[in-house]
């Protein structure tokens, strides 16, 4: 579905990702683990086209999208729920959702109904300014907004950040529902509780390099991942 | 004390404030969406006046001349963006506010010099497109002043409709609130950029043409209004369109009142007293929102 092939990228003179390779399949939601500064957010930005790749390639269902601009990638079904949610704070919930569907024109009532069925809280708040929502509600809005673009591949950059455990559980449940709809998932996380709830496939990124890649059952159960790569103990 | 003059001063202040608001509206749009402190905005205003002047001098009707000037200034605005701002924004380590500001000043000076080469430095006047005035028992107001106030109302309505009732406007607002998120929605920022610059330049040109029919015009005429427009931005709240309107009107009123009841030498002191007061009491500006992180 998504194949990352020897991808390098960075900012100015600083190279953050060094020849990263891995792939994401539709039936195996993938979690990328890595400590702060490992290059997880940079990876999300390169895949969506916010920063250019220096070397290597990004392939979506075999098509090379490495040089496409962000708008064309969205049209092909790449959506990102960015770090810190990044909703449009001075716009209403409904306007945020309209923007999610921007590349497809004005969304119809059926499209709104579909996301409101999945996120009832957003239906209640649809005419409120997004900036007034709680952190958990904003995360739901960011997810709903990404869904409005009819993604085939959904990237999520640390959606658990700043959320209460209950809200994290809701995010996990939602991501699993989206995966069940046939959307390929790449979740970038430090939170092992969320990672475990979602992952079938795990990739570990350390200082811009892929250092481990395997099925969730072999990588997460051993507990080796957090000891060696995240530098912290599992929290229960 | 001279209270009978108050209605007249209010009318004058409203007219002057409307031109400030027109200039500030274009400036705040470009700053709010593209984060460019566009000092060259004063030159859009100046060129609006001079092109209108040149066309009227060659026999064209004022309103046709103004419309043509608006189109030409939009074109010039597009060139300025391509030549002055886009290369800076695209450069590595790009688009720091300082380099954009210096580029804007350079653009401003180049346009002024160009106008000086073409038209010289002597002040000129555009023949007024209309004469006559409305007299009431309290005040008189010229048709031209009424036109300026009405133009502000029409311009504000037009900009509001574009921003809130069109898909382009939705994209412009999204870009101004969060540029990266707008890119992630698939919004092409080049289009947003073009539209924003065009709207801003058009507003500047209209203000220039109308003011040029009231006051003398000269190549450096844009310098002062653009500085005032920045003050208006801070008073009204940076990036806020209602803020630009109210800030502009407040500034016009204050200047006229200070000149009328005090002395015109103190006019700028009044301006900056208001500025300092706003900064002390409501630093985000009258219509600005304090930034809250969640």
Domains of chain B and CATH, by start: 2-91+104-128+135-281 (1.10.3470)
Q: Convert chain A into a string of H (helix), E (strand) and C (coil).
A: CEEEEEEEEEECCEEEEEEEEEEEECCECEEEECCCCCCHHHHHHHHHCCCCCCEEEEEECCEECCCCCHHHHHHCCEEEECCCCCCCCCCEHHHHHHHHCHHHCCCCHHHHHHHHHHCHHHHHCCCCEHHHCCHHHHHHHHHHHHHHCCCCEEEEECCCCCCCHHHHHHHHHHHHHHHHCCCEEEEEECCHHHHHHHCCEEEEEECCEEEEEEEHHHHHHCCHHHHHHHCCCCCC
3-state SS assignment for residue B94: coil
For range B44-61, the mean pLDDT: 96
**What is the distance between the alpha carbons of residues A93 and A109, in angstroms, rounded to a whole number?**
15
| pLDDT value of residue A226 | 60
Residue of A50, A88, A149 with shortest CB distance to B174: A88
State how far the Cα of B89 lies from the Cα of B36, in Å rounded to an integer: 10
Chain B window 240-269: which residues touch A at a Cβ cutoff of 8 Å? none
Contacts of residue A74 in chain B, CB cutoff 8 Å? 184-186
Question: Which of these, B14, B7, B10, B248, lies nearest to B148 by C-alpha position?
Answer: B14
Please give the Cα distance from B166 to A20 (Å, whole number): 42
Neighbour-count burial for B43-76, b at 16+ CB within 10 Å, e otherwise: bbbbbbbbbbbbbbeeebebeebbbbbbebbbeb
Residue partners of B75: CB distance under 8 A and separation at least 6: none
Write down the pLDDT at residue A95.
Answer: 97
Burial of B171 per CB tally in 10 Å (0-12, 13-18, 19+): buried
* pLDDT of amino acid B1: 53
CATH number, domain with residue A214: 3.40.50.300
The nearest alpha carbon in chain B to A135 belongs to: B294
Report the residue from A48, A82, A99 with minimal CB separation from B174: A99
pLDDT above 80 for A100: yes
* Of B219, B235, B242, residue with least CA distance to B272: B235
With CA atoms as reference, report the closest residue to A42 among A70, A83, A94, A77.
A83
pLDDT at residue B231 tops 70:
yes
Q: Model confidence at B293, in pLDDT bands (50, 70, 90)?
A: very low
Rounded to a whole number of angstroms, the distance from the CA of B30 to the nearest CA of chain A is 18
Domain assignment of residue A165, given as a range:
2-234
Domain count, chain A: 1
Contact B7/B166 with Cβ under 8 angstroms? no
Q: Residue B124 carries which DSSP code?
A: B
Q: Do A50 and B174 touch (CB under 8 A)?
A: no
Q: In the predicted model, is pLDDT for residue B265 greater than 90?
A: no
Asked if A86 has any chain B CB less than 8 Å from its own CB, the reply is yes
pLDDT class of A233 with cuts at 50, 70, 90: very low
Q: What is the mean pLDDT of chain A?
A: 92
pLDDT reading at A234 higher than 60: no
Q: What is the pLDDT of residue B43?
A: 97
B293/A138: higher pLDDT? A138
How far does B205 lie from chain A, in Å, by closest CA?
Answer: 30
Report whether pLDDT(A220) > 90: no
Chain centroid offset of residue A62 CA: 20
Residue A103 to residue B24: CA distance in whole angstroms: 32
CB-based contact B133:B142 (threshold 8 Å) = yes
Contact A90 B289 (CB under 8 A): yes
Lowest mean pLDDT: which of A28-37, A203-212, B262-271? Answer: B262-271
Q: Do A82 and B183 touch (CB under 8 A)?
A: no
8 A C-beta contact, residue B88 and residue B103: yes
In angstroms, the Cα distances linking A107 to A96, A98, A206, B131, B238 are 12, 6, 40, 51, 32
Q: Whole-angstrom Cα distance, residue A77 to residue A48?
A: 10
Note whether B186 contacts A: Cβ–Cβ < 8 A: yes
ipTM reported for the complex surpasses 0.90: yes
Mean pLDDT computed over B35-54 = 95
The answer to whether residue B19 scores a pLDDT higher than 80 is: yes
- For residue B94, the chain A residue with the least C-alpha distance is A12
Q: Do the chains contact at A74 and B292, CB–CB below 8 Å? A: no
Chain A residues in contact with B186 by the CB 8 A cut-off are 70-71, 74-75, 102-103, 149
- Nearest Cα of chain B lies from the Cα of A126 at a distance, in angstroms, of 16
- The residue of B32, B90, B186, B187 whose CB has the most chain A CBs within 10 angstroms, and thus the best one to mutate to test that interface, is B186
CA–CA min distance A173, chain B (Å): 23
For residue A213, pLDDT over 60 is answered with yes
């Amino acid at each position: 579905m998504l194949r990352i092939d020897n991808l390098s990228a960075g900012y100015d003179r600083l190279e953050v990702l060094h020849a990263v390779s891995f792939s994401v399949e539709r039936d195996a939601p993938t979690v990328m683990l890595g400590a702060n500064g490992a290059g997880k957010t940079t990876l999300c930005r390169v895949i969506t086209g916010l920063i250019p790749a220096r070397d290597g390639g990004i392939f979506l269902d075999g098509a090379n999208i490495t040089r496409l601009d962000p708008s064309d990638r969205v049209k092909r079904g790449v959506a990102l729920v960015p770090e810190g949610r990044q909703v449009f704070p001075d716009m209403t919930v409904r306007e945020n959702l309209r923007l999610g569907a921007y590349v497809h024109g004005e969304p119809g009532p059926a499209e709104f109904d579909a996301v409101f069925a999945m996120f009832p809280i957003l239906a209640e708040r649809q005419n409120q300014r997004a900036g007034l929502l709680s952190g958990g509600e904003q995360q739901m809005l960011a997810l709903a907004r990404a869904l409005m673009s009819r993604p085939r591949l959904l990237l999520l950059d640390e959606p658990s950040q700043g959320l209460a455990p209950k809200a994290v559980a809701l995010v996990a449940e939602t991501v699993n529902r989206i995966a069940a709809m046939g959307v390929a998932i790449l979740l970038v996380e430090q939170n092992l509780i969320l990672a475990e709830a979602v992952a079938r496939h795990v990739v570990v990124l350390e200082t811009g390099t892929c250092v481990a890649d395997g099925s969730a059952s072999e990588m997460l159960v051993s507990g080796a991942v957090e000891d060696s790569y995240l530098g912290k103990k599992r929290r229960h | 004390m001279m209270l009978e003059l108050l209605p007249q001063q209010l009318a004058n202040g409203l007219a002057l404030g409307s031109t400030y608001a027109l200039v500030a509206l274009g400036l705040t749009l470009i700053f709010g969406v593209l984060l460019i402190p566009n000092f060259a905005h004063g030159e859009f205003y100046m060129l609006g006046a001079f092109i209108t002047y040149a066309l009227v001098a060659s026999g064209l009707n004022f309103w046709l001349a103004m419309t043509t000037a608006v189109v030409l200034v939009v074109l010039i605005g597009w060139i300025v963006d391509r030549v002055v701002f886009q290369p800076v924004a695209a450069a590595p380590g790009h688009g720091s506010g300082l380099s954009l500001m210096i580029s804007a000043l350079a653009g401003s000076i180049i346009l002024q010099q160009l106008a000086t080469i073409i038209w010289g430095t002597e002040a000129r006047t555009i023949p007024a497109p209309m004469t006559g005035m409305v007299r009431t028992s309290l005040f008189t107001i010229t048709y031209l002043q009424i036109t300026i106030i009405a133009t502000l109302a029409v311009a504000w309505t037009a900009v509001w409709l574009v921003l809130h009732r069109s898909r382009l406007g939705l994209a412009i607002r999204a870009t101004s609130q969060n540029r990266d998120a707008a890119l992630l929605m698939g919004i092409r920022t080049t289009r947003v950029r073009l539209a924003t610059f065009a709207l801003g330049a058009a507003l500047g040109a209209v203000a220039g043409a109308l003011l040029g029919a009231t006051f003398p015009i000269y190549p450096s005429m844009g310098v002062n209004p653009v500085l005032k427009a920045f003050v208006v931005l801070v008073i009204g709240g940076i990036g806020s369109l209602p803020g630009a309107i109210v800030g502009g009107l407040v500034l016009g009123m204050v200047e006229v009142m200070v000149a009328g009841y005090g002395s015109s030498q103190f006019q700028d002191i009044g301006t900056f007293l208001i500025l300092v007061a706003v900064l002390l009491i409501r630093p985000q500006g009258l219509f600005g929102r304090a930034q809250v992180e969640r």
